[in-house]
């Protein structure tokens, strides 16, 4: 065994006496806790340096390295506690002042100083999960998401787990880093392969990015992301065939311009879960769009059949549940186009108009229902009002032309149909009407 140097003994003795005097002074003069902590930090550093010098000056010994590591560990632990206590004390002081209703001018500085002290603590305890979580929490409160991400990146390295990988993925999403988010979710899924919600979250990331890029007019990238999302969702459906996944798959088919495939998926959803109203609504909209296309192509009977199917689907939803005004109007409109349940359709659109009485589309629906019921003069007033609100809609002008024609005013009807055709030049149905007048 080696002997401790006189210098080391002297430093230890002075340190002990100084700490005792501080304690006595604190009793009499109420020395602030802040000063004691700062002094403790300085003394810890001094003690560590003195210890190292003492061993360096000592004679060679087989246990020299072991003792040196032990004493350095003690020094590092002392510094860890000192910095951490300083950080905690500053935060506690700010919280106390704020909770008491007093204005703390130094609050901001104290908070950021406490963060710096916590960073110093992490330098001496870089493998502490608890400290990194605390660091992430305080930076999250300050809105410093980059620091939060840095914390979780360290946590995942130290102790990778499903929860930590998932949380890091969430922060990557928040900071608009979808590729890194997907990577973390995939890592989390590897750790918990039975957690299918993680797999679904990956799909949702691609869908959200697809929508974002579509809004930015980057349609090629948007399409690529929708295709990737559908491919991954297909794997999930094969893993567990749930109505929610099929509904989402149908939506992706719609977004990729494949309505027939989407309709097939929505029918599967309805058979699996008859209470899934979104499937009825989406399927109804597809049939309605098909009917509109048939009508524009001059296929009147086919269009009427599509509108009838669309209305049958919507009647499963409305009024079975309290619906939004947009759904009320949509149901009323396709009922009017199919020529069925017109009294009920009128009731629905009037309910929608209570919340939005200047909506040109809703007014057009009411006018068209009145026209189908034979109340042509009342329909004319509604259609004129709708066209005054929105003058460049080809459907509204087409409807107004039909009403003028029914009232025996072919010149006005021609004017409206020509206006409709100038907006939508490919509408064969309107062309056929104009040809009949010539």
pLDDT at res. 46:
52
In a domain, 5, yes or no: yes
In a domain, 117, yes or no: yes
* Dihedral of alpha carbons 423, 426, 432, 434, sign: positive
Cα-Cα-Cα-Cα dihedral sign, residues 211, 212, 217, 220: negative
Q: Please check whether residues 60 and 20 belong to one and the same domain.
A: yes
What is the SS3 string spanning 49-92? HHHHHHHHHCCCCCCHHHHHHHHHHHHHHHHHHHHHHHHHHHHH
Q: Are residues 290 and 226 in the same domain?
A: no
Decide if pLDDT at 320 tops 50.
Answer: yes
Q: Give the pLDDT confidence score for residue 372 in this predicted structure.
A: 93
Instruction: Give per-residue pLDDT as tens, 380-437.
Output: 999 999 999 998 899 999 999 999 999 999 999 999 999 999 999 989 999 999 988 8
Give the span between the Cα atoms of 438 and 436, in whole angstroms. Answer: 6
Asked whether residue 140 is domain-assigned, the answer is no
Q: How far apart are CA 171 and CA 178, in angstroms?
A: 10
pLDDT at 106: 67
CATH number for the domain that contains residue 228: 1.25.40
CA-CA distance, 215 to 64, in Å (whole number)? 67
pLDDT at 140 over 50: yes
At residue 414, the pLDDT reads 93
Task: Please tell me the predicted confidence (pLDDT) of residue 438.
Answer: 72
Exposure string of 327-356, with b = 16+ CB inside 10 Å and e = fewer, is: bbbbbbbbbbbbebbbeebbebbbbbbeee
User: Nearest-CA neighbor of 353 among 336, 367, 337?
Assistant: 367
Signed CA dihedral, 48, 50, 51, 57: sign only: positive
Report which DSSP code applies to 231: H
Q: What is the pLDDT of residue 24?
A: 46
Per residue in 16-26, is it b (16+ CB within 10 Å) or e — as a string? eeeeeebeeee
At which of 222, 238, 254 does a domain end? 238
Number of domains in the chain: 3
CA distances from 292 to 299, 304, 364, 406 (A): 10, 9, 16, 22
Residue 234 has pLDDT above 70, yes or no: yes
pLDDT of residue 90: 78
Instruction: Give tens-digit pLDDT for 142-184.
Output: 888 899 999 999 999 999 999 999 999 999 998 889 999 999 9
Specify whether 19 is located in the same domain as 104.
Answer: yes
Helices (H) and strands (E) in the chain, counts: 21, 0
* Rounded percentage of the chain residues whose pLDDT exceeds 90: 55
- End position of a domain, from candidates 238, 259, 278: 238
What is the signed CA dihedral for 344, 350, 353, 358, rounded to 10 degrees? 110
pLDDT-wise least confident of 87-96, 306-315, 414-423: 87-96
Same domain? 1 vs 114: yes
pLDDT at 221: 94
Within 10 Å of residue 281's Cβ, how many Cβ atoms?
A: 19
The answer to whether 365 and 337 are in contact (CB under 8 A) is no
pLDDT value of residue 74 = 62
Per-residue confidence (pLDDT) for residue 87, from 0 to 100? 79
At which of 260, 288, 317 does a domain end?
Answer: 317
Residues 56 and 108 grouped into a single domain: yes
Does some domain include residue 409? no
For the four alpha carbons of 206, 208, 211 and 215, in that order, the dihedral sign comes to negative
**pLDDT confidence bin for 331, thresholds 50/70/90:** very high
Confidence of residue 70 (pLDDT cuts 50, 70, 90): low
pLDDT for residue 168: 95
Residue 166 belongs to a domain: yes
Cα–Cα distance, 286 to 253 (Å, whole number): 12
Same domain, yes or no: 212 and 250: no
Same domain, 88 and 34: yes
The 10s digit of each residue's pLDDT in 343-357 is 999 999 999 999 888
Q: Residue 25: its pLDDT value, please?
A: 43
Task: Please state the length of the chain.
Answer: 438
| Mean pLDDT, the chain, integer | 83
> Do 222 and 251 have their domain in common?
no
Mean pLDDT over 365-378 rounds to 94
Residue 262 has pLDDT above 90, yes or no: yes
180 inside domain: yes
Q: Are residues 257 and 234 in the same domain?
A: no
pLDDT given at position 41 = 52
Structural domain range at position 255: 241-317
Residue 272 burial by CB count (10 A; 0-12/13-18/19+): exposed, middle or buried? Answer: middle
Is 190 within the bounds of a domain?
Answer: yes
On the 0-12 / 13-18 / 19+ scale of CB atoms within 10 A, 177 is: middle
196, 240 contact by CB (below 8 A): yes
Give per-residue pLDDT as tens, 98-123.
666 665 666 777 788 888 888 888 88
pLDDT at 400: 93
pLDDT at 321: 63
d(CA 210, CA 228): 10
* 192 in the same domain as 257: no
Instruction: Give 3's pLDDT tier (boundaries 50, 70, 90).
Output: very low
Give the list of residues 6+ apart from residue 266 with CB closer than 8 angstroms, or none.
246, 247, 250, 279, 280, 282, 283, 286
Taking the C-alpha atoms of 318, 319, 322 and 326 in order, what is their torsion angle to the nearest 10 degrees? 40
Do 39 and 121 fall within a single domain? yes
Q: What is the pLDDT of residue 35?
A: 53
Exposure string (b/e) for 118-141, b if CB count within 10 Å is 16 or more?
bebbbebbeebeebbebbbebbee
* CATH at 290: 1.25.40.10
Kindly state whether residues 77 and 18 are assigned to the same domain: yes
- Between helix 129-141 and helix 107-124 the angle, nearest 10°, is 160
Residue 361 lies in a domain: no
């Amino acid at each position: 065994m080696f002997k401790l140097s006189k210098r080391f003994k002297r430093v230890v003795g002075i340190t002990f006496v100084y700490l005792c005097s501080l304690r006595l002074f604190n009793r009499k003069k109420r020395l602030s806790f802040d000063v004691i902590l700062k002094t403790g930090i300085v003394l810890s550093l001094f003690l560590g340096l003195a210890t190292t010098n003492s061993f360096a000056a000592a004679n060679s010994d087989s246990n020299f390295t072991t003792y040196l590591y032990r004493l350095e560990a003690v020094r590092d632990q002392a510094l860890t506690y000192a910095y951490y206590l300083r950080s905690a004390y500053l935060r506690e002081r700010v919280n106390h002042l704020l909770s008491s209703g007093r204005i703390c001018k130094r609050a901001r500085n104290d908070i950021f100083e406490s963060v710096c002290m916590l960073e110093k603590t992490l330098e001496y305890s870089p493998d502490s999960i608890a400290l990194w979580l605390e660091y992430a929490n305080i930076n999250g409160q300050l809105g410093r998401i980059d620091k939060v991400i840095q914390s979780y990146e360290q946590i995942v390295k130290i102790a990778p787990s499903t929860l930590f990988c998932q949380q890091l993925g969430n922060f990557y999403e928040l900071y608009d880093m979808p590729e890194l988010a997907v990577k973390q979710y995939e890592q989390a899924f590897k750790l918990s392969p039975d957690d299918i919600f993680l797999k679904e979250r990956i799909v949702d990331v691609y869908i959200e990015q697809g929508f974002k890029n579509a809004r930015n007019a980057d349609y090629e990238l948007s399409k690529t992301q929708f295709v990737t999302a559908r491919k991954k969702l297909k794997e999930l459906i094969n893993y567990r065939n749930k109505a929610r996944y099929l509904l989402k798959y149908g939506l992706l088919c719609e977004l990729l311009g494949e309505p027939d495939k989407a309709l097939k998926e929505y029918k599967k959803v309805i058979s699996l879960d008859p209470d899934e109203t979104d499937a009825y609504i989406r399927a109804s909209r597809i049939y309605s769009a098909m009917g509109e296309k048939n009508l524009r192509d001059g296929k009147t009977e086919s269009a009427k059949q599509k509108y009838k199917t669309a209305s049958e689907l919507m009647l499963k939803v409305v009024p079975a549940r309290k619906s939004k005004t947009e759904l009320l109007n949509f149901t009323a409109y396709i009922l009017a186009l199919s020529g069925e349940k017109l009294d009920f359709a009128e009731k629905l659109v009037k309910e929608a108009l209570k919340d939005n009485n200047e909506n040109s589309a809703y007014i057009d629906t009411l006018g068209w229902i009145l026209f189908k019921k034979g109340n042509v003069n009342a329909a004319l007033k509604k259609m004129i009002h709708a066209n005054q609100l929105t003058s460049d809609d080809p459907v509204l002008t087409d409807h107004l032309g039909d009403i003028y024609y029914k009232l025996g005013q072919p010149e006005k009807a021609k004017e409206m149909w020509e206006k409709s055709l100038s907006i939508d030049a490919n509408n064969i149905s309107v062309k056929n009407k104009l040809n009949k007048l010539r």
